[in-house]
Amino acid sequence: MKEKQRILKHPVLDFKRGRKINFHFERKGITGYENESIAAALFASGVKVFRKSKRFGHPEGWFCGIGKCSSCLMRVNGIPSTRTCITPAREGMQVEPQSAKGMLPDKTSIQVARKEEHVQVLIIGSGPAGLEAGITSRKLGLTTLIIDENPVPGGQLIKQTHKFFGSKEEYAGLRGFEIARIMLAQLKNYKGTYLTETSAIGYYPEEETGKHKFLAVKKQNDSYQLLEINADNIIITSGANENYLPFPKNYLPGIYGAGGVQTLMNVYGIKPGNRALIIGAGNVGLIVGYQLLQAGVEVKAVVEAMTHIGGYLVHASKLARLGVPILLRHTIKEVKGEEYVTGATIIEINENMQPIEGTEREMDVDLILIAVGLSASTKIPFQAGCEKMFVPELGGWVPIHNENMETTIKGIYVAGDVSGIAEASTAMLEGRIVGAAIAEKEALNPEASQRVKESALTELNQLRKSSLLKAVAAGKIKCQQKWNEAKNHEQ
């Protein structure tokens, strides 16, 4: 098979592919590279259909690319329901598609090591919020363990090739992946453990003492490590999930979320398609549109249901300059294709969001990118039992938290997108506030800690005066009021 989908030249990124490897898919040979996931290698070789759905037998393919959606489940070396998008491809692997349900695994053993950890601070997630919380808490003398389920630390940052907006102090002006590199270098100045490919799987406090305890699982090749993490404080910075969009045939391979597309092209250097249609003109849609152009994909149009562009004008003009039309008050009507997308029909809509017949337009595309907003990724705080509230300004349901970012469970904190959708600068500031607040509480360097916290708070409030973050500021105040109510109620 030809590797026509691989990006060989990119204006910003330089892909260092590992050694070539070969594995088997449906008994055919597939070539991939070391450090590449099975799904990415398959995609690069032109395999677009990964499974048939359970009930209707629909073709489905790559979607989230980060092990969350289950669209890529296959039988790998005799083990059913393997998430191939996060499983590295290895020499000689046997990969088979599985129809709906898995057969029993062939393997009769599983290698698991158990390890117990005791730390003052456990940080779950290593995006800008988690990394900054880590840097601050370590700087102030706390023993800190950071875990992230991704193989590469940095959260959203590593997938971004554009120069960030936000505050200079928080590295605005640099490209996302560069910010991640700088922050990681800073973190390395202090002692502490950092684990990748490690998923937090649940909060299980000690029965007698009520002490915090999280379970996490690290996967290493074919074996597992089960971590029982006893922590005095927990900072959850699990980021955000993408919103989906319901429309006819939305299951077809070729329709992907923005994150999945970014993972393919900016992490693995694989072109997600050749001609794209983007749904949603918020910052994510606009930025990924530009990234698609950088990767050599033709972008046919961006459609947006609203009457205005939600994202920054800088990003919109960049696309416009390159000849990409941004069609306001338009939506997707139909998708063409049997095994994967071969075209789409878009349509104009009126002020009541109803399609106007006769305005249909055919689009010759093989990629439809959905960028219709994010919601906080709250499974971890909600499973732990943190109280929640619906705050439209923060993107939906979020854990209730106070100015120190503490939830309604004492010693459990949140920071970044999981506490309300915002942006990277404020995520870092929130991370810094939590780190300092914990150090202050644990009476380590109380004066220094307080100073760090106060100055971060001042800066945060300043940033939130900008037009884009005003709503977030209002949402955060609602949350803090609710937190106070909950605490008064307790007493």
Residues that bind ligand FES (CB under 6 A): 39, 62-65, 67-72, 83, 85
**CA–CA gap between residue 261 and residue 273 (Å, rounded):** 9
CB 238 within 8 A of CB 380: yes
> 265-282 b/e with 16+ CB inside 10 Å = b?
bbbbbbbbbebbbbbbbb
From residue 1 to residue 40, the character string flagging contacts with other proteins as x (rule: CB under 8 A) and all else as - is ----------------------------------------
Rule CB under 8 A: is residue 392 a binding residue for other proteins? yes
Q: Which residue number, 234 or 368, has a Cβ lying nearer to ligand FES?
A: 368
CA-closest candidate to residue 433, choices 396, 390, 391, 476: 476
- The option from ligand FAD, other proteins, ligand FES, none interacting with 93 (CB < 5 to 8 A, set by class) reads none
For 234, phi and psi rounded to 5 degrees?
-130, 130
What would the two tokens of residue 266 be?
A: 């900016």
* Bridge partners, 233 (sequence order): 121
CB 286 within 8 A of CB 316: yes
Q: Which residue number, 116 or 364, has a Cβ lying nearer to other proteins?
A: 116
Rule CB under 6 A: is residue 13 a binding residue for ligand FAD? no
**CA–CA gap between residue 69 and residue 34 (Å, rounded):** 24
Q: Which residue number, 335 or 363, has a Cβ lying nearer to other proteins?
A: 335
Residue carrying the six token digits 């601050």: 136
Rule CB under 8 A: is residue 228 a binding residue for other proteins? yes
Q: Which residue number, 22 or 243, has a Cβ lying nearer to ligand FAD?
A: 243
Residue carrying the six token digits 């005003």: 470
User: Which stretch in 69-77, 177-185, 265-273, 279-287 sits in contact with ligand FAD by CB under 6 A?
Assistant: 279-287
If binding means CB under 6 A, how many residues of this protein chain bind ligand FAD? 38
Residue nearest to ligand FES (CB): 85
CA-closest candidate to residue 292, choices 327, 240, 256: 256
Give min distance, CB of 371 to ligand FES, in A. Answer: 17
Give min distance, CB of 249 to ligand FAD, in A. Answer: 25
What would the two tokens of residue 14 be?
A: 């330089």
Q: Which residue number, 240 or 301, has a Cβ lying nearer to ligand FAD?
A: 240
C-alpha of 356 from chain center? 35
CA-closest candidate to residue 203, choices 401, 465, 381, 407: 381
For 164, 407, 458, the CA distances from 481, given in Å and listed in that order, are: 31, 12, 19
Q: Of 46-65, which residues contact other proteins (CB under 8 A)?
A: 49, 52-60, 63
- The option from ligand FES, ligand FAD, other proteins, none interacting with 314 (CB < 5 to 8 A, set by class) reads none
- The option from ligand FES, ligand FAD, other proteins, none interacting with 60 (CB < 5 to 8 A, set by class) reads other proteins
CA-closest candidate to residue 380, choices 114, 123, 112, 132: 123
User: Which stretch in 237-245, 340-348, 454-462, 469-477 sits in contact with ligand FAD by CB under 6 A?
Assistant: 237-245
Rule CB under 8 A: is residue 380 a binding residue for other proteins? yes
C-alpha of 149 from chain center? 11
User: Which stretch in 13-21, 33-41, 206-214, 420-428 sits in contact with other proteins by CB under 8 A?
Assistant: 206-214
CB 408 within 8 A of CB 387: yes
Q: Which residue number, 83 or 315, has a Cβ lying nearer to ligand FES?
A: 83
* Bridge partners, 52 (sequence order): 59, 99
Options 95, 119, 147, 231; binder of ligand FAD; rule CB under 6 A: 147
Give min distance, CB of 378 to ligand FAD, in A. Answer: 10
Q: List Cβ<8 Å contacts ≥24 apart for 457-460.
A: 457/403, 457/433, 459/167, 459/169, 459/429, 460/426, 460/429, 460/430, 460/433
Rule CB under 6 A: is residue 276 a binding residue for ligand FAD? no
> Residue type for 269, please?
G
Query: What number of CA atoms fall less than 13 Å from residue 385's CA on the CB side?
Result: 8
Give min distance, CB of 288 to other proteins, in A. Answer: 19
- The option from ligand FAD, other proteins, ligand FES, none interacting with 473 (CB < 5 to 8 A, set by class) reads none
User: Which stretch in 163-171, 329-337, 351-359, 401-409 sits in contact with ligand FAD by CB under 6 A?
Assistant: 163-171
CA-closest candidate to residue 213, choices 200, 228, 226: 228
Rule CB under 8 A: is residue 91 a binding residue for other proteins? no
Q: Of 274-313, which residues contact other proteins (CB under 8 A)?
A: none
Instruction: Give the number of other CB atoms < 10 A from CB of residue 386.
Output: 22
Give min distance, CB of 70 to ligand FES, in A. Answer: 5
CB 282 within 8 A of CB 371: yes
- The option from ligand FES, ligand FAD, other proteins, none interacting with 62 (CB < 5 to 8 A, set by class) reads ligand FES
Q: Which residues contribute to the site for ligand FAD (CB under 6 A)?
A: 124-130, 147-150, 155-156, 160, 164-166, 199-200, 237-240, 258, 283-284, 287-288, 377, 380, 416-418, 422-425, 427
